[in-house]
Amino acid sequence: MRGISIILMVLTVLSKILGAVRIATLSRLFGTGIEAAAFNLAMSIPVLVFSFIAVGITTGFIPTYKRLEENKGVELADRFTSNLANITIVITIVLVILCQIFARQLTYIFAFKLNEPARVLTTNFLRISMVSLIPIGIATVYRGYLNCHGEFIVTALQGFILNVFIILGLYLGKYINKYYLAIGIAVASTLQFAPYIPAVKKKGYKWTKILNTKEPEIKSMLIMAIPIIIGVSVNQLNVIVDKNLATLIMGERGINVMEYASRLSELVNGIVIVSVSTVMYPILSKFAGQNKIGDFKDAIVDTFTSMFFLVIPAMVGLIILAHPIVEFIYEGGNFTSGDTALTAPVLMLYSSGLVAIALRDILFKSFYSLKDTKTPTKNTMWMILVNVIVSVGSSRYLGLNGLALGTTTAAYFGALLLYHNLKKKIGEFSKMKHLMVETLKISVASIVMGVAVYFTNNALVNSLGNRNAMFIAIVVGALIYAVLVMVFKVKEAENLIRQIKSKVKSKR
């Protein structure tokens, strides 16, 4: 598991670096103006609209496919995949048509306070970008298929294609015609899934001409997914509230600031949390299906340890260096120092919730592996209630920072509630003492690292400038953290060193 996760992380790091180039390009070319707001909404709304279906497929496909493969054979499992893919195509075509008709109304739902020029541009962008729902839908099914067959690398490569074509669209939009921004989204979102077709064929998959909504497996998936879909529906209300509060506070500039800050926080989420949980979900599903609850619980604890080893120091680093990071990545062109001053504290508050997001993500997948979708749905509803209360209340005094505070508070509340519910369901975790000891070691090492980063950056900023001081502080912090986790004998660090040594010996 660790080997595949590390490869995934490396690929994801490279992809996220290109993603950072993409958002930096957007910020420098369009700042926090209406084009940037229209682009951000046109990119996020199609994903949000499809998320109702995507979450059902993502959650239900792997356990259903594994069960079919084990009990009835690969041929019937592949037939089920074809049926689900074909049904998804029909659904996404209907969604695209509806979104073409009601594009303007969608902009009111997600950002009712936009001024008229921004609304017109967003509506037009949205009509173009919505076409990407069809390939996104097909890819959602095939991604699950590839993961079932132990193929994670191809899915990790899609970010490269997406970012390259979006960056191209941004430059064309700036210097030729602004509508290339939306065209870039549609083209990039379609082409990013091109490698999936040869990849599934290589695994022996053969498409079947079938469209049967009454197939028992489809029905069982739907029954399993209904609570999740309800949860996602409620969660979308949460997204709508956040976006509308952002526009109420600061118009389209508010949407852009929140988007820029969340993108940087999501770098850690995408690199570490998603990489590890993607690999672990089939493993957890296998242990749950075989009723090996002891192995299931140990796998959860081991995953927490692996995540914390990277997430906690990254979280501390983002909090300490929020301002220079935002300045380095975004500032320049149409993104001003005033925009940096607004974005940095929002990034700090988003970043402080990364540990909760890591916990919540693997706990969600733990419940899904146990075929329990109702508990995560109830948890999501409570989280949203907390988020809305904190966001609405604190935004009156803290502005955009209050929205980020609401998101982070809700994430910790949800993670703790989920853990409590899982412990009630499957019992105590035998390795919990080990996890607490390792987390304490990692936390102390991260805090010492953070202090060193803070003072190094402040000591050098006047003589070397923000950018050089930041890079030196990061290097110093990384070295201190690496030394401390070895001194503290953090198991994850020792395992990593052991793997590196074994690979070096095998190459000799």
Q: What are the extents of the domains in the chain?
A: 2-430, 431-508
Taking the C-alpha atoms of residue 279 and residue 297, their distance in angstroms, rounded to an integer, is 16
Q: Report yes or no: 154 and 199 within 8 Å, Cβ to Cβ.
A: yes
Mean pLDDT, range 368-396, rounded to an integer: 84
Lowest mean pLDDT across 12-21, 69-78, 139-148, 357-366: 12-21
Q: What is the pLDDT of residue 452?
A: 93
Q: What is the pLDDT of residue 147?
A: 77
| Token pair recorded at residue 411 | 């994430």
Q: How far is CA 190 from the centre of its chain?
A: 19
Residue 370 three-state SS: coil
Give the other-Cβ count within 10 Å of 231's Cβ.
22
| Token pair recorded at residue 305 | 């340890």
For every residue of 112-133, DSSP letters joined together read: TT--HHHHHHHHHHHHHHGGGH
The letter for the amino acid at 263 is R
Taking the C-alpha atoms of residue 284 and residue 282, their distance in angstroms, rounded to an integer, is 6
For the stretch 5-30, what's the b/e string if a residue is b when 16 or more beta carbons lie within 10 angstroms of its beta carbon? bbebbebbeebbebbbebbbbbbbbb
Checking if the pLDDT of 233 tops 90, the result is no
Q: Report yes or no: 300 and 359 within 8 Å, Cβ to Cβ.
A: no
Going by pLDDT thresholds of 50, 70 and 90, the confidence category of residue 442 is: very high
Nearest to 277, CA basis, from 162, 384, 368, 410: 368
For the chain, give the percent of residues with pLDDT over 90.
Answer: 15
Tokens 């993502």 belong to residue: 58
| Token pair recorded at residue 186 | 């549609």
Lowest mean pLDDT across 263-272, 298-307, 386-395, 476-485: 263-272
Q: What is the pLDDT of residue 448?
A: 94
- 321-348: per-residue pLDDT in tens? 999 988 888 888 788 888 889 989 999 9
Going by pLDDT thresholds of 50, 70 and 90, the confidence category of residue 168 is: very high
- 182-225: per-residue pLDDT in tens? 998 888 888 878 888 888 888 888 888 888 878 888 877 777 66
For the chain, give the percent of residues with pLDDT over 70.
Answer: 87
Q: What is the pLDDT of residue 278?
A: 67
Give the other-Cβ count within 10 Å of 337's Cβ.
9
Q: What is the pLDDT of residue 454?
A: 92
The letter for the amino acid at 403 is L
Mark residue 371 as left, alpha or beta (left: phi above 0; alpha: psi -120 to 50; beta: remaining).
left
The letter for the amino acid at 440 is L
Cα angle, residue 29 at apex, residues 25 and 34 outer, rounded to 5°: 115
Helical (H) or strand (E) element with 142: helix 133-148
Going by pLDDT thresholds of 50, 70 and 90, the confidence category of residue 227 is: low
- Most confident by average pLDDT, 129-138, 326-335, 451-460: 451-460
Checking if the pLDDT of 447 tops 90, the result is yes
**Average per-residue pLDDT for the chain:** 82
For every residue of 405-433, DSSP letters joined together read: HHHHHHHHHHHHHHHHHHHHHH---TTHH
Q: What is the pLDDT of residue 473?
A: 92
- 54-67: per-residue pLDDT in tens? 777 766 777 787 77
Lowest mean pLDDT across 131-135, 245-249, 502-506: 502-506
Going by pLDDT thresholds of 50, 70 and 90, the confidence category of residue 238 is: low
Q: What is the pLDDT of residue 1?
A: 47
Q: Interhelix angle for 432-464 vs 466-487, to 10°?
A: 150
Residue 209 three-state SS: coil
Q: Report yes or no: 354 and 265 within 8 Å, Cβ to Cβ.
A: yes
For every residue of 150-207, DSSP letters joined together read: T--HHHHHHHHHHHHHHHHHHHHHHHT-TTHHHHHHHHHHHHTTTTHHHHHHHTT---
Checking if the pLDDT of 4 tops 60, the result is no
Going by pLDDT thresholds of 50, 70 and 90, the confidence category of residue 283 is: confident
Nearest to 37, CA basis, from 49, 27, 46, 48: 27
Residue 504 exposed, middle or buried by CB count within 10 Å (0-12, 13-18, 19+): exposed
Mark residue 399 as left, alpha or beta (left: phi above 0; alpha: psi -120 to 50; beta: remaining).
left
Residue 465 three-state SS: coil
| Token pair recorded at residue 201 | 């064929």
